[in-house]
Structure 1
Amino acid sequence: MQLSPPAPIVAGHAEAALDIIFKHMIIDPATQRRPATIRKIEVIENLRTAYLAADIPAHLLRPRSDVFIGEKLHSNVDIAIANGKVLQLAQGWSFRVTRLDRVVTQVKAWGFALERLRGGDEGRLVDAQGQLSAIAKNVDLQIVVATPETSEQEVAYEEAEQVFRMLKADVHPVEDIAAISTRAADLVRASR
């Protein structure tokens, strides 16, 4: 079956002609460029590296901490900067993954908890060592994202973006991650 108008091909031999045909006329799914996958853990590792590069003291970094809001609401935060009170909460999300439905659901659940904090419910952070820090409702909230590359990823990101706007969070692509660590360094200096 021919799907295109006929075109003459000049080649030295049949194999060279087939190479030309395949190169210009046949789409091979195996050779198609697939969007690069970036896992959330890579986004968080980049954030941790940025904090260390900004000279944030290691004892202020609170990775994988639990946030408790009100009496029973609980969520996780990827990294917090805290010294008895939380100076900054930072969350990473990747929209360059295959299971976008899972990411959007996680963003919404996380956003619900943080929305309650922003609304004035009491918040506290418990880090991996069990240290407790108070969280103010106007805490600096930073989000770093591996931005979408495909239309499907873009749709998921637009849905998550609504949550980020509602929380009045600052959102940065991974390429601009230094803005988050620079802001954290300013907050640490101001808290002394």
Structure 2
Amino acid sequence: MALTDPKIKQAKPGEKIQRLSDEKGLYLEVHPNGSKYWRHKYRFNGKEKRLAYGVYPEVTLKQAREKRDDARKLLAAGVDPGVVKKATKSLRIELAANSFEAISREWYAKQLPTWSDTTAKKRLALLENDLFPWLGNRPVSEITAMELLTTLQRIEDRGAKETAHNGRQVAAQIFRYARLTQRCQTDPASDLKGALAPKV
């Protein structure tokens, strides 16, 4: 019998893990501590496998079924959804490692010994207050000159023209470092020479 939200909410933990079956391989594990985890049992190439879909109620019954249905579509196409999930996770990790913020902090750590305390604090404040909020999560290889210009113009718009110019110079050093470490192919900051309003 298919699960319902009332049935899930009424499920009480026992001394051992309980399994509440839904449909088409989807089930909910109720742990002794009261936590409820979505699982999906399936077979691929004759082997029984499982996927984890998160915790109820953060992942709703409807969402868990959608994840199961997506996995079944992959199975119908002859693809192991477990392999796809691992590949997707690896890609997310790689993108996070190559984000503008991750590479900026890596560059910052390498440059730190060469700076005075004042310079180090100014560089970090510039990154954290003016660049990371807009560019931090972006893969460094995907940031365009227009995207960087828009970020720097936000600094200009509050009247901090010198900070905007400093932002371009710092970004140029970060992109240069990213190119040298083969995380990107271009330096959008170099395309912005003359694009900002004069400091004075």
TM-score range, shorter chain: 0.3 to 0.5
TM normalised by structure 2 equals: 0.32
Q: Which has the larger radius of gyration?
A: 2
Query: Which of the two has greater strand per residue?
Result: 1
TM normalised by structure 1 equals: 0.32
Question: Greater RCO between the two (CA within 8 Å, min separation 6)?
Answer: 1
Query: Which of the two has greater helix per residue?
Result: 2
